[in-house]
Copies of this chain bind each other. A is one copy, B any other.
Amino acid sequence: MEGKAPRIPDSVVRRLPVYLRHLQSILENDVDTIASQTLGEALGLNPAQIRKDLAYFGAFGQKGVGYDVRFLILSIERILRIHRDVPVALIGAGRLGAALCLYNQIQVRSGQNRMRIISVFDRDPAKTGSVIGNVAVEPDTHLESALRSRNIRIAVIAVPASDAQEVADRLTVAGVTAMLNFAPVALRVPDSVHVRAADFTSELQSLAYYAFDE
């Protein structure tokens, strides 16, 4: 299938949502076509890079005309498999988890994202039964059956580091194939599962490398 060839670099996959967001915003301003040059200037990226990125997925642009904005939006959404509603689970309803969940609800309501956190789990009985925005926090005891019956393949891990590996193991058993991990710990998962580390401390620490010149 298009877009599933494993040779597409992760760096390209990660730029696609950035393109998508900008294309959505210019469409609101009734811009119908855009040149890679203009897109590059707006995003601070090299136009040749943009053309190369999009060429991975087919020939979208027309020489001298540029890209059809609507068609490019639909194409990127299809490539990312977000041209339909995508259910997401959140494990961990602490401060960070709650902030992410509320933020997600704002994005979904505004039409900027079709990936919606529909299920939130926590092992703390003090949290279960409470509501984050419009989602109730469920006990994690029936995590596996809930994820399976709701056909959830993507999960956000926002539990303490000490619990994260156990959560990842359970998610794997439940059929989750992609995890966004905010816990500051490296997770061991089968090759068939994709994990992205998103913990704040690591992000900050790797950034320090670039901050200092002396």
Contacts and interface: CB of A to CB of B under 8 A. Distances in A.
A79 B208 CA distance: 9
Contact of A184 (B21, B178, B211): B21
Interface string A79-101: 11110001010000001101110
A211 B113 contact: no
Contacts of A205: 16-17, 20, 80, 82, 113, 115
Given A21-B184, A99-B96, A213-B4, A107 B194 contact: no
Copy number in the complex reads 2
Contact of A154 (B179, B188, B211): B211
A210 B5 CA distance: 11
Interface string A195-213: 0111011111111111111
A3 interface: yes
A179 B204 CA distance: 9
Given A21-B202, A113-B204, A115-B205, 20 more contacts: A14-B206, A17-B206, A18-B186, A42-B186, A43-B188, A44-B187, A79-B209, A80-B205, A80-B209, A81-B209, A99-B99, A103-B200, A107-B200, A154-B204, A177-B212, A178-B210, A180-B203, A194-B210, A198-B198, A198-B203
Interface of A: 1, 3-4, 10, 13-14, 16-18, 20-22, 42-45, 79-82, 86, 88, 95-96, 98-100, 102-104, 107, 112-113, 115, 153-154, 156, 177-180, 184-189, 194, 196-198, 200-214
